[in-house]
Chain A
C-alpha cells in the first residue's frame, strides 16, 4: 500500500492507543485514587441507618437519690418536608394541632422553624436539628389526643405520634439544681460537624449544659444501629448490620439532695429578705464545699428555672425569659459565672499582704473614720472612728481605714505613680499567693476566671479604653458628661494605665475592678480552713453501671498551696472566728450551737440599673465550720442584697442548720445531713425503679 496509507494507519493506531490509555487513567483515578470518596457516596445512596437510641444514664446524689432520670413520653412530631409542600405551608394544620393539644399556635410555629431560618434575636424556641428529622411539638401528649391525630392523617399530614424517652428531673425534696444538671436537646449542625472524636447520629439528643454535657459521653451510651441496603425505590433489599444499643452509664455526684434543696431555699429566702429590707436583691449564689477534698456538696444560683421545661417544650416566652436581662438572666449559673467585687471578704488577702510587708499583726493600729489619700478622702464603712485595734479585731469589726493606710503607705513605698523597678507589690503578690486568677477547675462548662485589678490589668484596661477617655467629650453620651465624670475621664486619660493611690486603696478592701466568682471565694476560704491546700472543685464523683460496676472515679486534684506562712493561716482562722464571736456576724450567729468562722462583705457597686436607679450593695458571707477542725465551707452572695451579715449571713446560718441538724438551738445528730460529720465515701447502689420518697 502507499506510504500515505501506511502513515495514516500508524497515526490512527497511536491515536487509538492514547484513547485507551486515557480511559485506563481515568478509571484508575475514579476507582483507586478516589475510590474511598466514591465508596462513601455509594453508601450514602444505597444504605440507610435506622438508629435506636440508647437509654441515657441517670444522675444521682451521693446517696443514690436520682436527680436526673428518664421517663417515657408521647411525642407529637411534625415533618417539615411534608408540611412545606402544603399550599399554606401548614398554617391551618398547626392551628388545628394547637387547639387539640392545648398549645399556642405561635409556639408550635416557632418550635418547628429551623434555627437557621430565623433572624438573629428571634430564635427563641427554634429547632436546633435538621429539616429531615421529625420535629416534636410536645413530648407529653395524651394518648387519646394522639390517637385522634394519627387516625385523621388527612387532616394532619406529616404529623405522627411516637413514644420517646424524655429526660426527667424528678425534684425529690423539691430540689431544683437546674444550673448543675443542665438539660438535653437535639444535635445542632455544628455539633455534627465538630471535630472532636465523638460520633453522633442526627437523631440523637445530647447534653447541652451543666453535668449533662460535661459527662455526656458516659451518659449517652451507644445507640443501636440497623443499617439496611435499599434500592432506588427505597425498598429494603437486605440488612447490613444490626447492633443493639448499649445503655449509658450513671453519674454519681457528691451532692446531697436534701442539702441542695435547703441551700436553694436559703438562697431564695435571702433574696426575699433583701427585698423586704428595701434592696433590689435581683440575683444570688450559694456554694457548699468539703474543705478536705474539694468536693461540691451543694451549689445554687438565683434566679433559676425548671429544667423539665426544656423537655416539655419551651414556649417562646419562656425561652425569651431565660435569657432576659429584665428577669436577671435565669440561665446564668452565678456561682461559677457571676463576677462580683468581693468587698471585705477580700481582707484575708490584705492580712497576708500586711504580714509579708512586715507589719506586726499583733500590734495595734488606728482605725479612724476616714483617711486622706492624695486629694481624696476614703471613709470607714459607716464613717465611725473605731479607735486603736489590732489586726485580729480589725478583721472582726471590718475596719477599712486600717487597710487604706497600709495600702497607701505601701503604694508610696513602691514609688506611687512612678513605680520603682523592684516592686514589693505586697497586696498584688498576696492575691497571687491565693492563686486568685486561676480557675477552680470545676467539672461544669463555662466557669469564669476571676480578675485581679493589678498593674497588668490596668495597662491592658488602658489600651482598650484610652481612646474613649482621651476623647471623652466626643465619645461619651450627653447624660454622662457631668463635671465629675469629665474630670475622671481626664484623669483616666493621663494615667489610666497606672495603679493610682485610689486603686491601691480600693484593692485592699476588695473594691474597684477586682471581681471574684462565689466558687472561687469558697475555694479560697476552704484553703484557709484546711491549712493551705487549694483544691479543685468537682461535682462528679464516679461513673457506675446499673449492676454496680465502677467505670471510673473522679478525685479532685490538689491545684496548689497558699503561699502563706502557717502561722499567718492560723492567724486568719482566729480572726475569722472572732468575726462571728464578737464582730460583724455576731448577731447573725448568736445562739448557734456550732462554732462558725467567716467574714461579711458589703460591696459598693458603681453604676445604674436599667431603670435608672443606683445599684445597691452586694451582700457576701464567706465561711467555714466547725471552727476547730473545719469540714465545710459555705459562701452566699446576693447581688444588690444590701448588708453582708443580715442578708447573706442569715442565709448561711440556715444552710449550716440543715447541715448539722440544728433544731431549736441544739444539734440533733440524727438530723444532720452527714451522720458521722463527713460526706459518704462509699458509692451508692443505683436503683432504676423510682419510688417517690416522702418529703424530708
Chain B
C-alpha cells in the first residue's frame, strides 16, 4: 500500500489540482501562440485547397491534432517527477541518435529538398528525428553539466567535454543530412548552456571560435550542399539568386511589408491566398501574420515570444537546482534562436534555412518537440516551491 502510494507520489506530488505548479503566464502565452498559429495555418491553406477542389480544412484539422497530441506530451513531461526524467534522459538521447541514423539509411529515410531529414511511418505520417534530438541534447547536457563533485559550484572540465560529446554525436549525424538550420539552433543552445553552467568563460570563447571556423570549413569543404551555399549568397547579395531562394525571400519580404500597420485582415490576404510565398504554412508562416495581421498583429506575436522567454528566464533564475536551470536555459536558447532565425529569415535579416516557427508552424515533429520543451519549463517551474 505504501509502495503504491509512494509510487503514486512519484507521479503526482499534490492532489489539489490537475494543473498545480503550472505557470499561468507561460500557459496563457503559449496558448495564445498556439491559437494564433492555428488561425494562420488555416488562413495559409484554406483558399489554396478550396481552389484545388480539396478539403479547405485539411491542414487545420491536422494542425489541431498535432497540438492535441503535443499538449498531452507536454502535460506528461510537466507532471513527471524529475528524478524519473533524469533516468529517462539517456534513453531519449539514444532514441534520437537512432532516429538520426535511420534517416540516413536510403530506403528508410525520405529525401526532401536535398536533405534526408524525415522517416516515413505507416499511415502517411512523417517524423523528423532532428527535432526530438534537440530535446535529447538539452536534457542530456543538462544532466552532465549539473553534476557536481567535491562541493564545487561548477562543472568540471571533464563534464564539459562529456556534455559536448553528448551534443556532438547527434550534431554530426544532422550535418550528414544536411540540415544546417537545426545545427545552428543546437549550436546556440549548446554554447548558451555551457556559458550558464558556471564554467570559465574561456570555454565559451573557445566554443564560439570553434563554431565559426567549423562553419567556415564546412562551407569550403563542400560539406554544405550547394543550394545551402546559394542561400547564404542570396543573404549577402539579395539580387544574386532571383529564381531560387532569392525569389522566395523577396516574395516573403513583399508579403510581410504589404501588410502595413493593420494588415489586410484574417483570411483576406491576396499574397497568401495566391500562394506566392512557398512553404507558407511551415517555414514562412510568419508572412501570413505579416500580411494579414499587419504590424500590430505580427508585432504582438513577437511580444508574446518575448514574454514567454522573459518568464522562462525568471524560472531559470529562481531555480536552485542546476539541472533545472540548465534545462530552462537550453530550452530558452532553443526557442529564442529558432524564433529569431525563422522570423529573421522571413524579414531578410538572416540567411534562409528550413527551421519552423515554434508553436506556430505546421508540422507534427516540430510541434511535439516544442510542446515538450514547454513541458520541461513547466516541470522546472512546478518544483520551484519545493
A contact set with B: CB distance below 8 Å? 1-2, 4-6, 8-9, 11-13, 16-17, 19-20, 22-24, 26-28, 30-32, 34-35, 37-39, 41-43, 45-47, 229-232, 235, 237
Chain B residues with CB below 8 A from A26, complex form: 344, 347-349
Among A9, A23, A41, A232, the most chain B Cβ lie within 10 Å of the Cβ of A23
| Residues in B266-281 with C-beta less than 8 Å from chain A | 270-271, 273-276
* A19-B339 Cα distance, complex, nearest whole Å: 10
Q: Within 8 Å CB of B261, what residues of A? A: 31-32, 35
A27 near B298 with CB under 8 A, answer yes
Stretch in contact with the other chain, from B158-166, B227-235, B312-320: B312-320
**A1 in contact with B255 (CB, 8 Å):** no
The reply to whether B257 and A41 form a contact with Cβ atoms under 8 Å apart is yes
When C-beta atoms are compared, the residue in chain A nearest to B194 turns out to be A8
Stretch at the interface among B122-130, B213-221, B328-336: B328-336
- Checking A12, A23, A230 against B340 with a beta-carbon cut-off of 8 angstroms, the contacting residue is A23
Residues of B contacting A8 in the complex (Cβ-Cβ under 8 angstroms): 195-196, 198, 204
Q: Which residue from chain A places its CB closest to the CB of B256 in the assembled complex?
A: A30
Q: Quick one: which of B201, B251, B347 has the most chain A CB within 10 A?
A: B347
Residues B274 and A229 in contact, CB atoms below 8 Å apart: yes
Please pick, from B256, B275, B302, B316, the residue contacting A20 in the complex, using a CB distance under 8 A. Answer: B302
The reply to whether B51 and A231 contact each other, CB–CB distance below 8 Å, is yes
Expressed in whole angstroms, the Cα–Cα distance for A16 and B344 within the complex equals: 13
Give me 5 other A-B pairs in contact (C-beta within 8 A), A31-B298, A46-B270, A232-B274 excluded: A4-B199, A12-B195, A20-B309, A41-B254, A237-B51
Of chain B, the residue at the smallest CB distance from A16 is B336
Residues of B within 8 A of A (CB): 47-48, 51, 153-154, 192, 195-201, 204, 251, 253-261, 270-271, 273-276, 290-291, 294-295, 298-299, 302, 305-306, 309-310, 313, 316-317, 320, 322, 325, 329, 332-333, 336, 340, 343-344, 347-349
Complex-state Cα separation, A34 to B258, whole angstroms? 9
Q: How far is the CB of B21 from chain A (nearest CB, A)?
A: 21
A24-B302, A46-B271 known; A2 vs B256 contact (CB < 8 Å): no
Interface pair A30/B257, CB less than 8 Å apart: yes
With A1-B325, A16-B336: A27-B256 Cβ-Cβ less than 8 Å: yes
CB distance from B341 to the nearest CB of A (A): 10
* Nearest residue, chain B, Cβ from A47: B270
A35, B254: Cα distance in complex, Å: 9
Cβ-defined contact, A38 with B257, below 8 A: yes
Q: Is A2 within 8 A of B255, CB to CB? A: no
In the bound complex, how far is the Cα of B306 from the Cα of A24, in angstroms? 11
Q: How far is the CA of A512 from the CA of B56 in the complex (A)?
A: 86
The reply to whether B270 and A229 contact each other, CB–CB distance below 8 Å, is: yes
A20 to B313 Cα, complex, angstroms = 15
Chain B residue with minimal CB distance to A240?
B270
CA distance A17 to B312 in the complex (A): 13
* The residue from B154, B255, B294, B313 contacting A42, defined by CB atoms under 8 A apart: B255
A236 CB → nearest B CB, Å: 11
Would you list 14 pairs from A and B whose C-beta atoms are within 8 A, ordered by A residue? A2-B153, A4-B200, A8-B198, A13-B310, A23-B347, A27-B256, A28-B295, A28-B299, A35-B261, A38-B256, A46-B274, A47-B270, A232-B274, A232-B276
With both beta carbons as reference points, the residue of chain A lying nearest to B343 in the complex is identified as A23
Least distance between A39 CB and chain B CB atoms (Å)? 5
Chain A nearest CB from B241 CB (Å) reads 18
Q: Do A2 and B253 contact each other (CB < 8 Å), given the known contacts A16-B332, A28-B295, A230-B274? A: no
B316 CB to nearest A CB, Å: 6
Given A12-B333, A19-B340, A27-B298, A38-B196 contact (CB < 8 Å): no
Q: Tell me the bound Cα distance from A229 to B322 in angstroms.
A: 57
Q: Is the CB of B47 within 8 A of A237?
A: yes
Q: For B204, what are the chain A residues with a Cβ–Cβ distance below 8 Å?
A: 8
Q: How far is the CB of B242 from chain A (nearest CB, A)?
A: 14
A9 to B329, CA, bound (A): 8
Residues of A within 8 A of B290 (CB): 27, 30-31
Closest-by-CB residue of B relative to A46 is: B270
Q: Which residues of B contact A231 (CB under 8 A)?
A: 48, 51, 273-276
Assess whether B258 is in contact with A35, with CB atoms less than 8 Å apart.
Answer: yes
Check if A9 sits within 8 Å of B271, measured CB to CB.
Answer: no
What residues of B have a CB within 8 angstroms of the CB of A43 in the complex? Answer: 258
CA–CA, A1 to B258, complex, Å? 48
Residues of A within 8 A of B153 (CB): 1-2
Q: How far is the CA of A11 from the CA of B313 in the complex (A)?
A: 11
